[in-house]
Amino acid sequence: MKCRFCGRDTRNRNRICEYCEPFICEICGEALSRGYCAICGKLVCDNDSRLVGFARVCTKCLQRNPKLGDYDYLKKTVLMEAKRFISPPRTDFIKILELGDLPKGKEVYVHIGLDDFDSPYGLCTTYAAARIAYMVRKSFDVRFLDFPLLVRLNPNIPLKTRGNAGTAIRIRVHIEDLNNLIESVPKLVSKLSHGFFRKTQPALAMYMTERYVVDQVLNRAYFKSVRSVYPPKVLLQELRSMRTGYLIVYSSKQSIPRGIVGAVAAIGATFDDYTFELLAYRQRKNIGKERDINIKSVFQMNKELFPLTFGNVDGNRILIAPKGPDPVLFGIRGETPEIVYKAFQMIEHEDIELWAIFRTNQATSTHIRSIKNVEEAHPYETVMIECQVISADRKNDKVFLKASVVGGYVEGIAYRLQRTLQSNILKLRPNDKIKLVIAITEKTGNTIRGNIEEFVPITLEPETITKNSRCPRCCARLKKKSKNIMYCKKCGLRIQGVFKITIRIPRRELSIGKRYLPPPKAYRHLTMPNERIYFRAKKLFGKVQTYLTEPLLSIEKEVTLIKTETIREPETI
């Protein structure tokens, strides 16, 4: 039988497959969740929650405290709770999984993966990775093989806190230091997670090999996690077939945590296209306070360094600084490590604890999966599908697009935050053919519904104008005299019959082959800006060599980056 939510095969009597089961609403138990409650952490569907700003609050929490429906009150509540956990309680990480055999060479390649360390009340998985990298660099004689990796995964997963990212650190260590390293990392992260929050299920994974390789099971985990749903239960089954390397997983939970997916996927990640992000972290005393960043310096940096850096501003608004109580002061995205560091030096800001450069799959559109028909689509995936427009209409502050595709229909929504995308969708007309990128929220029968991310016109129906034909004697426009007679007002010629000509005028309001995106403030972390197309091509064709730098993280702002060696991806075997 087929799953009633996604159409996958299932033997479950209630017709819910193992991919959809982890995301069922924890209040009604009947619908797929759209997110989790910022107060209690329960997964909730649209009917059992309310969006308050960009956060969800479940109906039960609203019943207990109706004031939570007010955005300012909710924001104040979260901030007060966050201040309680600026120094989070210690969470002991215990070994919950061990696979493979420990390497025996003189030097060992170690991959450290992390995921799900944060909560709505603070902390950040990237911060935990930066702290680990800093500790490893200071305490051990290691060689970094890459920048710390910031690995964005499927942005539609309802459990994500902010951006659904795992992190990984790739190093080479002497065998005599390996046991000490294995003991030190879990101790350090015990003070860097919000494991007390119901949603948060942190995982730390350490993968060790005698060569610079990753098992293909881990590499597949990355691609599945970035483009689809990958439940821990399914990952655990596939990890049993791992043939290369030694894997240890730690968690604060006794059972297999959700964070294992992102931690393992980050270890197995390989990038054909990539960008960089320099993240600056706040001093603990400033967390919870308003961020002190000189806005003028951000605009000046953007003016000088765009498009080598991108996603910095949108109109009069800066985009580099988050709004929540997490330890990130700001993040600068760019094409090379040198350019993001140069941008960092140009920005005036409050004192920081640490900065680190991450290599990442952000702004690469890796999450988009091309499909040909409705049967291939599943909830929580972002797909590109060719379709023919039926209608495009505005209702209140939303724009609705309906289109036909092979095997069914697509119904997409663009929101007020996506204002430029909305205006371009409204320029579409019936029978226009487009490639539509849509994040699927629901699949019912032969119809998929979701949020529109972008579209590309393939063909545009010409505008059609019908006019009377011209006089064959003097070329003036004929007029209709009666039911079956036309005449020329200029020369007096009368012609029996009614003659019309149809003029097809090419449409100019949209361009064939152009990507139409929302404004930068509405981008997802993985959305590729148009200004990246040139740099993406250079990287995909191997025309860019990226070098590791020293230092790649520091507590000092004024340092000199020194290129050390060309970065290479681990071999997949």
Claim to verify: residue 142 and residue 289 sit in the same structural domain? no
The b/e string for 537-560 (b: 16+ C-beta within 10 A; e otherwise) is: eebeeeeeebebbebbbbeeeeee
Claim to verify: residue 346 and residue 387 sit in the same structural domain? no
Domain's final residue, options 84, 104, 139 = 84
Query: Is 207 in contact with 113 (CB distance < 8 Å)?
Result: yes
Q: What tokens appear for 248 in the block?
A: 């240890």
What is the C-alpha separation between 229 and 221, in angstroms, rounded? 10
User: What is the total count of domains within the chain?
Assistant: 5
Omega before residue 307 within 30° of 0, cis: yes
What is the C-alpha separation between 463 and 513, in angstroms, rounded? 19
Q: How big is the CA angle at 551 (ends 143 and 182), to the nearest 5 degrees?
A: 40
The CATH number assigned to the domain holding 320 equals: 3.90.600.20
The H or E element spanning position 408 is strand 408-414
**Taking Cα atoms as reference points, which of 255, 243, 189 lies closest to residue 214?**
243
Claim to verify: residue 203 and residue 130 sit in the same structural domain? yes
Claim to verify: residue 396 and residue 512 sit in the same structural domain? yes
* 3-class DSSP state of 128: helix
Token pair 């909730």 in the structure block, residue: 44
Q: Is residue 478 part of a domain?
A: yes
Domain membership of residue 194 as a residue range: 94-268
Domain's final residue, options 268, 297, 328 = 268
The CATH number assigned to the domain holding 433 equals: 2.40.50.1010
User: Looking at residue 114, what is its pLDDT?
Assistant: 97
Claim to verify: residue 65 and residue 165 sit in the same structural domain? no
Q: Is residue 16 part of a domain?
A: no
- For residue 88, give the DSSP letter: P
Claim to verify: residue 78 and residue 184 sit in the same structural domain? no
pTM > 0.75: yes
Q: What tokens appear for 550 in the block?
A: 């020293």
What is the C-alpha separation between 247 and 473, in angstroms, rounded? 89
Q: Is residue 570 part of a domain?
A: no
Longest dimension (CA), the chain: 106
User: Looking at residue 450, what is its pLDDT?
Assistant: 97
Q: Is residue 99 part of a domain?
A: yes
Claim to verify: residue 78 and residue 51 sit in the same structural domain? yes
Question: Phi then psi for 277, rounded to 5 degrees?
Answer: -140, 125
Q: Is residue 2 part of a domain?
A: no
User: Looking at residue 480, what is its pLDDT?
Assistant: 83
How far, in Å, are 411, 468, 502, 531 from residue 478 at the CA level? Answer: 45, 6, 15, 52
User: Looking at residue 512, what is its pLDDT?
Assistant: 96
Q: What is the pLDDT along the chain (573 residues), one digit of tens a residue?
A: 899 999 999 988 889 999 999 999 999 999 999 999 999 999 999 999 999 988 899 999 999 999 999 999 999 998 888 888 888 888 889 999 999 999 988 999 999 999 999 988 888 999 999 999 999 999 999 999 999 999 999 999 998 877 789 999 999 999 999 999 999 999 999 989 888 888 889 999 999 999 999 999 999 999 999 999 999 999 999 999 999 999 999 998 778 899 999 999 999 999 999 999 999 999 999 988 899 999 999 999 999 999 999 999 999 999 999 988 899 999 999 999 999 999 999 999 999 999 999 999 999 999 999 999 999 999 999 999 999 999 999 999 999 999 999 999 999 999 999 999 999 999 999 999 999 999 999 999 899 999 999 999 999 999 988 888 888 888 888 888 887 889 898 888 888 888 888 888 999 999 999 999 999 999 999 999 999 999 999 999 989 989 999 999 999 999 999 999 999 999 999
Claim to verify: residue 354 and residue 385 sit in the same structural domain? no
User: Looking at residue 199, what is its pLDDT?
Assistant: 87
What is the C-alpha separation between 388 and 385, in angstroms, rounded? 10
The H or E element spanning position 305 is helix 295-305
Claim to verify: residue 101 and residue 221 sit in the same structural domain? yes
User: Looking at residue 83, what is its pLDDT?
Assistant: 84
What is the C-alpha separation between 569 and 573, in angstroms, rounded? 12
The H or E element spanning position 342 is helix 337-346
**Taking Cα atoms as reference points, which of 211, 256, 227, 229 lies closest to residue 98?**
256
Claim to verify: residue 175 and residue 251 sit in the same structural domain? yes
* 3-class DSSP state of 44: strand
Claim to verify: residue 401 and residue 468 sit in the same structural domain? no
Q: Is residue 566 part of a domain?
A: no
Claim to verify: residue 140 and residue 212 sit in the same structural domain? yes
Q: Is residue 127 part of a domain?
A: yes
Q: Is residue 1 part of a domain?
A: no
